[in-house]
Structure 1
Amino acid sequence: MTQQLDLFADLAADNTPVPSTFTTAPEPPAQRAPAPTPAGAAPQAARRTGLPHLPADPHGRALEIGEAVAARWHNLHGGSDIQVPIGVVAALCLIREKDPQGPDLRAQILTQDGSQLVAMIREIWSTQWIYRPDLIERARILHEWLNDDVDHRRETAVRAVAETALKRGLFDLTAHEDPYLRSATDVLSLVMTSLRSSGARKGLGEYHTPAPVAEAMSEVVNHGILAEVQLAVQDLKQRQHIHDPCAGSGGLLRAAAQSIRERGGDPADFRWSMVDIDPIAAACAAVNAMVWSLGPHVTVACADALATPNAVEEAMEQARAVFAHRDEVLGRARIFAALHQAQSLMDSALADAA
């Protein structure tokens, strides 16, 4: 039986954020991993003395994670479905560890078995859809496999990928509350390129810009952009637009956002757009836009930038349609939740009167 993403959890609450338009969408809240529910008594949660510091070489750590994830996936599962392990890592990248003194989320996640972990990953994607349906729709290729039954073999491989990424230090790079720290590198780019063969990358014309090169380029480009930041008006139509027509997973824009932060600016004060012909790369760029907190004014298009010069405008139209669909779905869900609550109150009143 096909399982659908649960988009209707907790919709009876009045405080569910519902952005009304594409241009005013807020950033999604930090995703918290659910408490583990293994068979039998749950172990005492490990506690931290503080969040880990950023590794001395974040790009090197990300490469280690990518290579280890690729090796584990190909040993246990293999095949061309690399969107599955990338989707697992992408979901984990959306988790934040807000309380340094709280339970160790890595330890919590690692207590879960394969089916529990798959359920957690479904919940992460579903929650993010409520807040940024445009970016989650662009990342569809990374999570649509969750709409089908996940057999035991795949569950085992999914858990192995999550375990490998976490034990290699994924949260040291992505779980920080500070967006500057979690934007220190592009984990998904290195996971994606490690999972793909050299031949597959050449066939796609895919050559990802090394992070140090991206950072050096952003310094040159942003020097001119940032000199004009004080002249920018807060109205979106006059906001500075930063665009990459061959974005890959967004590495150049990550470096630009870091440069903006280092100069006291906020990436959310800019418009960002990315185009890439590869669906998986575009999906990673959409997830990275959330991980790096680029703000609400982000557009990601999957197209050939040369053949489709209006790719960004078309992607914005699609995003508006996705937001409208989300609003319609959540509106219906709220009605159903309210009716269910009213029916429960009526049943309770009748029971008391009997």
Structure 2
Amino acid sequence: MDLQLDLFAALTSEPEEPAKPGPTPRRTAPPAASTRPLAATASTPAPRAKPAVRQRVSDEQAHRTAAALGEAVADAWNRAHGGPDIAVPIGLVAALSLIRQRDAHSPNLKAQILAQTPRELIEMYQQIWAGHWQARPDLIDRARILHEWLNTPDAIDDHRAYCVKVVTEAALKAGILDLTGHCDPIERSRTDALSHVIMLLRSNGARQGLGEFHTPPSVTDMIAEVALAEISAETAVGAMRAETGQHIHDPAGGSGGMLRAAAQSLRWRGFDPADFIWSMVDVDAIAAACGAVNAIVWGLGPNVVVACDNSLANAMAVEDARAHARRVIAHRDQVMGTARMIAAVRQTQALLESAVAA
């Protein structure tokens, strides 16, 4: 079946091609990327479900839904005896947060995904991560801990495939697409869905060992308003000239909750987060990975750096992460260039064979 899956709708540009400065009208969606969306294929016939209609919700409703989502995913993983590798269920939710329905008038994406077999779901997740790697290799590489297990599909046994199915069903039924499936970045940024999933899957002892305490969204919203008040006052007069470029940084970013609140505050002031520079550091690999995924979901733009490091021990954490991101982008360019060259050679060979046969 052809899933109505838009892998690139949340992406406005690639990191090496920053968006042109300019104010963003309030409550508008970013332009769709020119990259053609990939479609996952499967043999199951498409359900005749009605197209999904995304309902706008309040911030409070979004936070409640996110909390319920975390509980549902943790319960599903534990009941399925998924094991200690919590990066797997968190990665499944992260992948689902990266997609949206390609066409509002096409069959319901949620129903289509729910109809897939466990093995078809694994193939779908591979396509989601691969597609986003092409567009944002820097952030997807930072999120590697969430998806690297998919690189060896032959090693995924039937039980792991079953756990994938169970967690996917739980996340979809708990409303992940209602939180992140919107075209409007303001709607996608009302809460941090992945934060709740991390907190509920990780044991209290593990959280204390990491010093991990996720700040409630209502608190991050308030802090962001206070912190950005001065920026707003200073730039209000020249806002139409988009003289932005301030660097917004969180040295203990977790999954990015403070950046989300700051981006929302900027949007309500008429700014585009893509015109700002964003960075965050967190010592926990899973939290940093979720922060990288959230940067895409929340539409922070091309100027984002996520470091997995100890900001107290390494004052150059952001600079080191930025250098690593440049290397990853260069590798992507090399891989894609090689792929295009191979495709061109094959096309030429096919034309020659066709001419000889004639």
TM over 0.5: yes
Q: How big is the shift at 1:234?
A: 6.2
CA distance in 1, matches of 2:135, 2:205: 37
Q: Which whole-Å CA distance do the structure 2 matches of 1:104 and 1:53 have between them?
A: 18
Correspondence 1:22 to 2:2 = no
Deviations along 1:122-141, one digit per CA (max 9) or x if unpaired, are 00000101111000110000
Quote the residue 2:348 is aligned against: 342
* Separation of aligned partners in 1, 2:54 and 2:344: 40
Counterpart of 2:138 in structure 1 is: 134
Aligned-residue CA RMSD (Å): 2.3
Distance 2:161 2:214 in 1: 30
**Could you tell which deviates more after superposition, 50-59 or 170-179?**
50-59
**What is the rounded CA distance, in whole Å, between the counterparts of 1:214 and 1:104 in structure 2?**
34
AA aligned opposite 2:71: E
The answer to whether the 8 Å contact 1:18/1:327 transfers is no
Equivalences for 1:91-130 in 2 at 5 Å? 91-130=95-134
Q: TM-score, normalised by structure 1?
A: 0.88
**1:101-158: CA deviations, max 9, x gaps?**
2221001111110110000000000010111100011000000000112111001101
- Alignment counterpart, residue 239 of structure 1, candidates 242, 245, 258: 245
**Structure 2 counterparts to residues 1-354 of structure 1, below 5 A:** 22=16, 24=18, 29=33, 34=39, 37-39=42-44, 42-48=45-51, 50-54=53-57, 57-148=61-152, 149-230=155-236, 231=238, 239-351=245-357, 353=358
TM-score (norm 2): 0.87
- Cα drift, residue 65 of structure 1: 0.5
**Residues 300 and 135 of structure 1: is their aligned pair in 2 closer, same or farther, counting only changes over 3 Å?**
same
Q: CA-to-partner distance for each residue in 1:42-70, whole Å, 9 max, x for gaps?
A: 14431226323336611110010101101
Bigger CA drift: 27-36 or 181-190?
27-36
For residues 35 and 279 of structure 1, the distance between their equivalents in structure 2, rounded to whole angstroms, comes to 29
User: Are the equivalent residues in 2 in contact too, given 1:271–1:298 (CA < 8 A)?
Assistant: yes
Residue matched to 2:24? none
| Percent identity between the two aligned chains | 52
Task: Supply the AA of the counterpart residue of 1:104.
Answer: N
Q: Is the contact between residue 40 and residue 123 of structure 2 (CA under 8 Å) also seen in structure 1?
A: no
The aligned amino acid for 1:334 is R
| Alignment: residue pair count | 331
Aligned to 1:4: none
Q: For residues 274-301 of structure 1, what are the alpha-carbon distances to aligned partners after superposition, in whole Å with 9 as ceiling and x for unaligned? A: 0000000000000000000000000000
Give the aligned residue type for 2:130.
S
Query: Given that residues 77 and 89 in structure 2 are in contact (C-alpha distance below 8 angstroms), is that contact kept between their aligned partners in structure 1?
Result: yes
- Aligned-partner SS, 1:227: helix
Matched to 2:57, the amino acid is: L
1:36/1:111 contact within 8 Å kept: no
| Separation of aligned partners in 2, 1:282 and 1:109 | 27
- The offset of 1:18, in angstroms, is 9.6
Tell me if structure 2 keeps the 8 A contact 1:97–1:177.
Answer: no
Higher alpha-carbon deviation: 71-80 or 208-217: 71-80
Q: Distance in 2 between matches of 1:49 and 1:201?
A: 37
SS in 2 for 1:272: strand
- Matches of 1:287 and 1:153, distance apart in 2: 26
Tell me which amino acid in the other structure corresponds to 1:102.
S
CA contact (8 A) 1:98 1:176 kept: no
